[in-house]
């Protein structure tokens, strides 16, 4: 279960990071 939680956390972090990059790249 810990592995699943870690995987979910990484997924959320990746989505947030990608969203931040898109927001910064947008003019």
pTM beyond 0.85: the answer is no
Tokens 């699943």 sit on residue:
4
pLDDT at 26: 84
Domain ranges of the chain: 1-27
Phi, psi of 26 (to 5 degrees): -70, 140
Q: What is the DSSP string of the chain?
A: -HHHHHHHHHHHHHHHHHHHHHHHH--
Q: What is the per-residue pLDDT for 10?
A: 98
pLDDT at 27: 78
Cα–Cα distance measured from residue 19 to residue 9, given in angstroms and rounded to the nearest whole number: 15
Tell me the CA distances in angstroms from 27 to 5, 10, 16, 22, one per residue in order.
35, 28, 19, 10
pLDDT tens-digit map of 1-27? 899 999 999 999 999 999 999 999 987
């Amino acid at each position: 279960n810990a592995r699943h939680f870690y995987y979910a956390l990484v997924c959320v972090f990746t989505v947030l990071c990608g969203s931040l990059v898109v927001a910064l790249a947008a003019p």
